[in-house]
Structures are given as structure tokens and as C-alpha cells.
Chain A
């Protein structure tokens, strides 16, 4: 997707969000007391956001035909024509996708495995996904994950007396 069309898409998305939030602001209850309605300030901001998004949209249109700006990071060209679009996409975004997916899994599994096991597993899996799955690396990643996350868990639990969430499977951790 080209830079200009990308700006246009974001501007339209922002306009839609502004519109949705403006409609949602009419669901805010109006109490009989107080000078400033609780909906006024959010509406002002949403209005400003909508106006700015419109200006952004106009700006993205008016920039059509001009050379691409170089401020945003561009996706690299494929290393040869043999790579498919999907492979290029994966090559560029794989680390970020790993991070999103594993963190999401960590959050979803937290009620079952707890913060200690979940945190150690997340750190270990993320390091291995990003750094490699060789046996020596796995050992190193496991060591780092246990020492760093386990140490921090111990510091919060025993040092700072902050109870971190245990899991259903192993209720102590």
C-alpha cells in the first residue's frame, strides 16, 4: 500500500472513529446538577479530532502526485522476485506478530497458569521465537527467563509484598 493511500485510509478511519464516538457521547447521562455537562468535554475533543482528521484527509489528497516522503519506515523490497507478498509481509512483520500473539496468549492464559509461569513462558517463547530454537539458545533463553522474571516475581511477592495473580492449575504461583 502506498504512503499516500495509507494516510487517506488512516484519515478515513479516524473520521469513522470520531463519528462513532460522537454518537456514543449522546448516550452519556445528563445529570440535573453541575454547570458543565459530562458530555461537553468529550464532545469538544471528538469534534476537534473529527475536524483534524478531515484536514488530514484533505492533506493526504492534496499530497497526491508529490514524491513520497521518507519519514516513515517503508517496507523493504523483496530479496529477489521469488518471494511472494505473503512471505515478504511475514519477513517484515514476523517479530512484531510473534510479540503480539505471545503477549496475547500470556494474558489469556494468566488466569489458568498465573503470572509467574505465564511470565517465564512468555519471556522464554518470545526469546526463542525471535532469537532461534537451537538447543544452546533454548538453554540460555530458559535461564534468562527464569532468573529475570522469577527474580522480579520474588521481589514483588516477598520484597514489596505485592500479591501477583496465581493460576488455577498451580495456585501457589
Chain B
């Protein structure tokens, strides 16, 4: 049965038209990733309207191709011009650009390309192995658990997205609010339509996403008249040849860095709201700490390229895992993927892999195939990159805005959607200007319906609120949501040396013990016991250190 489904999925992905679309997708992603200011999420969201006429597997394969290409594209401009193409390749420039400047741009690019490939492939393996297991756990979830999972996702995103937690939470609430406009899902009563007929249908969330993300990003990119007229071509040398073999040997010698960075990327990807922009810095930092020659970092050290490039490509396998297993996206691009699935009437959730096995395997296979295509396309796209860097940002912005309006209109053949794009573009732009993070808002828009639907289901079962704390998974998500909400305060207090911050992590470990024990069985209470013992041990050690530090006689 599994073999049949895999064979069907493979046949779909290996079809000439799908492969051709994936090649175009990877090429477009590589270019989008290479252009500073043009984010991966923007590329993926702009691809979405082109996939309407495709079947779901083909459409998703194309979007995955854009995504994988985008994740690797940032390294080209980062290494050759010193300007990271995407936030997820910021750390790549730390050593990539110095290496290119000292005369080894081909080696630097080779390291980046092969590290991206390794990170992507490892995370694809993780996606295949872990998504079905996580989906099995997801089958235990009841409406209370799903509701709390959404709340947890929003809280974590808000706490990680910016330096001001309140702004992040406000953005999340605005996102949830946007989804309440129009007829409610349960009984079909109109809400916040103010007598305007098109509002009864609600805002199309793809139009909202393109507006909030792409439109507002383009406005921010062209805000400065001087930089809007600039092109990248004046900077850096872009006529080089990638040194593949030398790079492979260098990565093989530093395989521990690669594995560690891939794990960092995957874990960061699973965490809602934490994407490649965090993973690449984290992996770079860990590689530097683990290195015997940390002083070489920043001067063209190969590990300084391997670590960030492996981790930022590993992120997406992690982000797609909760999406495919639970229907909860791990980051903004996964949220757009969720939108693509919903457009094709496919609702991801714990039963998704079992009910839509061919589509699920198609996603797995497309993820693998896209990484191989990316490897082959990098050398070709390097030449196109030279041409693209001659284009000025204002030209790109004007053309993309026009194309976005055509794509958004094609959603439902509705001019109202283009108006939605415009107004949410304006909103997104001002949110950026005033320091409100967009990721929580986007997650709020995407998950708003899931939250309300599950709350409605929970109330249909019982009006009693106690299951939110008596159901183990709900309690688990509530506990970590509370701790994640406190995380920004923990960080700032730790920087000031506050004593209570020493007890934050032990408290997290002890608090999660309760839901683990409540889950029953053998393994989960055991995990709970391990958490409890580890928490108590840390508590004991840190109490001793605190006492010693406060004792003047010591």
C-alpha cells in the first residue's frame, strides 16, 4: 500500500511538466533569494496564484521548488557582494564575503551550495521520518488541545518575532481579528461587515498575506529614493566558477559542524515563528563556540559558511513537519503552503498523511528532488544573477506590484481581493514602520479559523472550561505558552543579571512534568520523571551558586 502510494507520488513528480515547473521554480527561488529585499516568503506567496490551475501535488511541488531555491539563493549575493539576499543568510556573509575577497569566491560558493544541499536533504529525511510519528500523536488531540496549540504557536511567534513582546501579541491579535470578518464558520452569521456586501465573504487570506508581506516589503524597499535606484552590479566580482570537489572534501572533514547545524535548523524550524533568520545565526554561534580556532571566524573560515548554510536549509523540513502532521505551520512560508493546500481543498491535520498519502509523499519527494535541482541550477543561475543584479529595485517593485494585483485578482475573479491587497499592504507597511512584527499577524490570519473552529467544537461538547487544564496536551501547550510569553522578560532580566533568571529553565522542566505524567502509559511519565529530576538538579545547583555568590564570606 505504502509502496503503491510512493510509486504514484513519484510518477507525479517525475512527470515532465512537473519537473519543468520545479526547475523554473528553483531558478525563480534562487534569483528571489539572491535579490536583497526580496524575501523567500514573498517569492513563495507570489508563486501561489500560478498554481491555481495545477493539481495540488504539482502546485505544491512548484512552491517547494521556489522555497528550496530561495533558501539557497541568499548565499550568492551574500558571498559575492557582502549583502545577504535574505535574512536567513546574514551569517553566511560573515565568512563568505571575506573568503571571496581574499580570492576564493568559487570555494566559498561551493561550500555554501553543498552545505545547503546537505541541510536540505537531512531535513527532508527528518520530515519523512518524523511527520508520520507526530501525526500519530496528533490523533490524540481534541479541540481543547488544538486551540491551545494555536495559542502556543502565536505566543511563541510573538515572543521570538521582535524585541517588544506586546507589539508581537498585538500583531497576533490583529491577525486573529482579521479572520473574524465575514460570516462565521459554525452558523453563518455575518460579523464586522458594516453593511458592506463584499465584507460578508471575509478577506481572502492569500490576498491578505500578499498585501501584508509582499506589498509592504516592496514599499519598504523603495522607501529610500537613493537605494531604490541602486543596483547590485557595482559591487563585488560575480564572474567565477564554483569549486565543487574542494568544497565537498572540506565539508566531509567538518561533518560534525554540518550535523550540528542541521539539527539546530530542524529544531528551529519546528518551533513556530522561529525560521532561518534565527537558525543561521544560532548555528554560526555554536560553530564558533565549538571551534578550536574561533579567532579565524569572520576572516573566511569554511565552518563559518557551512554552519549557517546547512542550518537555514534544514529549517524548512522542520517547519513543514508540524504543518503536515498537525496542520500548524512552523513559519511564514509553511503558513503560505497551508494556504496553497486549503485552496486545493486539502486540509492538513493529523489524518492528512493517512487520508492523502499520495499528496503527502509527493511533498516529501518534491522536497528531495528540489534539493538536487538546486544543486544543479546554482552554477547556471550564477550567470543569470549577474544580469538580475543590474535591475534596479524600483523597476522590480513596480513590475511585481502589477503582477501581484493580477495574481490576486485571479484568486476568485474579484476586484475586492485587489482592494484587500492594497489596504493590507498599507497596513503591513505601517506595521513595519512602527516596529510591529508581521509574522505573528500572518500566523494569526492563517490560524484564526482553526482556533475558532476548535473552540466552537469544544463548546459543542461541553461548556465546562476545565478540559483546558485537565487535558494533558492542552495543559502542556498552555504551560509552554506561558513560559514562552515570559521568555523576552527572562532574556532582558538575564542581561541585567537578575537572580530569578537562574531558575527559569529548571522551572520550565518541572512545570512540564505534570502534563507528561497525566498522559499515562510508560514512556511519557518516564520523560516527565526525567524532566523533573533534571529540573530539580538544576534548581539545586543554581541555588548553591546563588547562595555562594550572595555570601560575602565565601
Contact = CB atoms under 8 A, between A and B. Distances in A.
Q: Which of B163, B186, B194, B405 has the most CB of A within 10 A?
A: B405
Interface in A75-121: 91-96, 99-100, 103-104, 106-107, 110-111, 115, 119-120
Interface in B451-471: 451-452, 455-456, 459-460, 463
A164 interface: yes
B186 A42 contact: no
B290 interface: no
A73 B434 CA distance: 8
Contacts of A138: none
B170 A53 contact: yes
Question: Would you list the 10 A-B pairs with minimal beta carbon distance, nearest first?
Answer: A130-B394, A126-B398, A35-B459, A38-B189, A36-B459, A38-B184, A49-B173, A42-B180, A148-B399, A72-B435
A99 B177 contact: no
A152 B406 contact: yes
Contacts, number: 181
B244 interface: no
30 contacts: A28-B191, A35-B460, A36-B459, A38-B184, A38-B186, A38-B189, A41-B455, A41-B456, A42-B192, A45-B177, A48-B173, A59-B166, A71-B164, A72-B433, A73-B433, A92-B223, A94-B225, A95-B225, A99-B218, A99-B219, A103-B422, A110-B418, A119-B402, A123-B399, A131-B228, A131-B394, A145-B398, A148-B403, A152-B403, A160-B53
A160 B410 contact: yes
B173 A107 contact: no
Interface residues of B, number: 62
B190 interface: yes
B401 A122 contact: yes
Interface in A37-55: 38-39, 41-42, 45-46, 48-49, 52-53, 55
B545 interface: no
Interface of B: 50, 52-53, 162-164, 166-167, 169-170, 173-174, 176-177, 180, 184, 186-187, 189-192, 194, 218-219, 222-225, 228-229, 392, 394-395, 397-399, 401-403, 405-406, 409-410, 413, 415, 418-419, 422, 425-426, 429, 433-435, 451-452, 455-456, 459-460, 463
- Secondary structure class of chain B's binding surface, majority of residues: helix
Nearest to A110: B415
B187 A38 contact: yes
Contacts of B176: 45
Q: Which of B163, B398, B425, B434 has the most CB of A within 10 A?
A: B398
Given A95-B222, A141-B395, 4 more contacts: A41-B456, A55-B166, A73-B223, A95-B223
A128 B486 CA distance: 49
B435 A122 contact: no
Given A72-B435, A94-B225, A103-B422, A36 B399 contact: no
B300 to A, nearest CB: 30
Interface string A7-20: 10010001000000
A24 interface: yes
A119 B399 CA distance: 9
A79 to B, nearest CB: 12
Contact of A115 (B52, B177, B406, B460): B406
- Secondary structure class of chain A's binding surface, majority of residues: helix
A157 to B, nearest CB: 10
A29 interface: yes
B482 to A, nearest CB: 15
A18 to B, nearest CB: 9
A92 B392 CA distance: 19
A131 B225 CA distance: 8
A167 to B, nearest CB: 12
Contact of A127 (B187, B395, B405): B395
A37 to B, nearest CB: 9
Nearest to B429: A96
Contacts of A161: 53
A44 to B, nearest CB: 9
A111 B518 CA distance: 61
A166 interface: no
B212 to A, nearest CB: 15
A9 B308 CA distance: 40
A41 B173 CA distance: 11
